[in-house]
Amino acid sequence: MIKGIIFDKDGTLFDFNATWGTWALRMLTAEVGHDPVQFAALADVLGFDVPTEQFLPGSIVIAETVDIVAARMLDVLHDTTMDALRARMNAAAIGVAQVEATPLLPFFDGLRGSGLRLGIATNDAEAPAVAHLEQAGILDHFDFIAGYDSGHGAKPGAGQILAFLTQTGLAADEAVMVGDSVHDLTAGRAAGVRTIGVLTGPAAAPELAPHADVVLPSIADIPDWLAGQTAAGTRPSS
């Protein structure tokens, strides 16, 4: 029986391109001004298609940590440091207007009301993650929140999910990891929990399916999936 769910944040709770496309354009302009060569080079590093304001499926921004993204950006930006760039990126991320994949407050009210333990495992830093959850009015719904800098490592490692299990007292077979990237699902599998892929990030179903127990259009479909699991578990064996 599923007693807990741990969610990725970007691309899972919040539509990835709708949220971060605007951020990317602002950050590109802030970092390189109107230098077209540097602008194009930085967009290429980020895997960002400027005309459509969409991240390409292989973009490092989708699943990697701020540290990794910043390190790659420094291949283009030579007049700054890792610490300064990372600080600017985290500060900018806190102020990004998040586009919810589904109305989050009633969604998490429903999950919490059913007695589920809830967590967040993100490769974002913890401070922006907390800010985004607070902006959505759902911060107090979670038993556990971890960013890549919270001391449990980053995905695709299993550390964040294992810490969620430890904090909530759940067994691996009582929990499920939900995410929009292969990193999310790999982390879930490594922790021994079930995995749900969602299509509100750049990854398509064929990319997620080999790593997921099920792929759903969005988190909005999870309550029906849970109901199906409960019904299956209560059927008498033949």
The residue written with tokens 């990794």 in the block is 68
Residue 233 is predicted with a pLDDT of 66
Q: What share of the chain is helix, strand, coil (3-state, %, to 5)?
A: 50, 15, 35
pLDDT the model gives residue 114: 95
Q: Where is pLDDT greater, at 3 or 66?
A: 3
18 vs 101: CA distance, rounded Å: 10
> Taking a C-beta distance cutoff of 8 angstroms, is the pair 185, 177 a contact?
yes
Average pLDDT of the residues of the chain: 93
Gap between the Cα atoms of 229 and 184, Å rounded: 21
Domain formed by 4-15+99-234, architecture: 3-Layer(aba) Sandwich (3.40)
Amino acid 238: pLDDT: 37
Q: Return the pLDDT at 33.
A: 83
Higher pLDDT, 21 or 173: 173
Q: Is the pLDDT of residue 42 over 70?
A: yes
232 or 10: which carries more pLDDT confidence? 10
Q: Tell me the three state secondary structure of residue 230.
A: helix
pLDDT band at 133 (very low <50, low <70, confident <90, very high): very high
The pLDDT tens digits for 188-209 are 999 999 999 999 998 999 999 9
Residue 41 has pLDDT above 80, yes or no: yes
What pLDDT was estimated at residue 94?
84
Separation in Å, CA 90 to CA 54, 65, 97, 119, 238: 20, 11, 14, 21, 55
Mean pLDDT to the nearest integer, 90-96: 84
- Mean pLDDT within 151-169: 98
- Each domain of the chain, given as residue ranges in start order, spans 4-15+99-234, 17-94
